[in-house]
Structure 1
Amino acid sequence: MPSLIGNEDSFVETLINLIELDFDATAAYAAAIKRIDDGGIGDRLGEFMSDHQRHIQELSRIVRDLGRVPPTEADFKAVLTQGKVIIGNIAGDKGILLAMKSNEDDTNQAYRQALQRSDILPVARPVLERNLADEHRHRVWIEERLTRM
């Protein structure tokens, strides 16, 4: 659960959980893009998916530098994040965006909590701050788009 991210025993475990969460988000974006009717929304969701892929790469580099092996695929939570999108598809584009907003709420919370750790590594702080800024931008765009629907 994203709400637990930031409470792990070690900072590297927090990073590993964030990577898994970004894999989950990437899978959810892929599911949303396949189902969205509005091509403009789909293009924007593709940009957000690319941000999550970049997060995976950057965090994985740090995890490897710490001597650990980063995750290479989504975990079981991907089924949950994709499931929100699939169920949201019943309500069309608005339902899909509502599902994606819920997923972005989770990633925003996870990155905020990770940044509150007392043992955060100096090399990781700017990466986490940049990723949180991306997550915030994703959520704000989705919220604005929803208000116009």
Structure 2
Amino acid sequence: MATTVGTGDDLATLVKNFILLERDAIAAYDACIERLDAPHRKDKVSEFRADHARHLDELISLAGRVGAEAPAEGDMKQMLTTGKVAMADLVGGDGAILKAMSTNESDTVTAYERGAGNAAIPAEHRGLFERAHADEVRHKSWMESEAQAA
């Protein structure tokens, strides 16, 4: 599914949307970890979940500094991201689950790439988005590779 997160020119709205994105991602990670069979995959995905928790903490801190709303829960997209993982589990085990997660990561990669280059985000805050983008690229790459190996 295509995301529009990272577009727009209002800093408070951008930060709020990234918080929602991270809440949705964390829910999908929880669903993934719960369903994976291989312990080494659960461990790696748990590491990636911790990256998302860190992104969320940083975004909530940023929200406080820029006067943005910091939603306490995800949005309707959370049902899509977690549902995709649950459906994959029904049809294909670890490989299908990781492939579903990889498609979720496509949205986070795109969103953070946009955020890192968005002129509405002041230069002093861009590092957060650049670091998160690098994390998301790493997550997606591992998930694609591990899905093929499963």
TM-score interval for Structure 1 and Structure 2 normalised by the shorter chain: over 0.9
CA RMSD of superposed structures (Å): 1.3
One-letter amino acid of the structure 2 residue matched with residue 61 of structure 1: S
TM value normalised by structure 1: 0.94
How far 1:6 moved relative to its partner?
A: 2.3
- Structure 1, unmatched stretches of 5+, are none
Structure 1 residue 102 and structure 2 residue 137: aligned?
no
In structure 2, distance between residues paired with 1:62 and 1:102: 27
Percent of pairs with identical residues: 38
1:126 is matched with which residue? 127
One-letter amino acid of the structure 2 residue matched with residue 87 of structure 1: M
Comparing 112-121 with 23-32, greater Cα deviation is found at 112-121
2:28 is matched with which residue? 28
Query: Any runs of at least 4 consecutive aligned residues in structure 1 with deviations exceeding 4 A, and if so which?
Result: none
Aligned partner of residue 123 in structure 1, secondary structure: helix
1:71 is matched with which residue? 71
Structure 1 residue 6 and structure 2 residue 10: aligned?
no
How far 1:123 moved relative to its partner?
A: 2.4
Aligned 1:38-53 pairs, distance under 5 A: 38-53=38-53
Aligned partner of residue 124 in structure 1, secondary structure: helix
How far 1:103 moved relative to its partner?
A: 0.4
Distance 1:11-1:67 versus aligned 2 partners, 3 A rule: closer
How far 1:147 moved relative to its partner?
A: 2.8
One-letter amino acid of the structure 2 residue matched with residue 147 of structure 1: Q
1:144 is matched with which residue? 145
TM value normalised by structure 2: 0.93
Cα offsets for 1:33-89 (capped at 9, x unmatched): 111110110111111111101101001111111123311111111110000000010
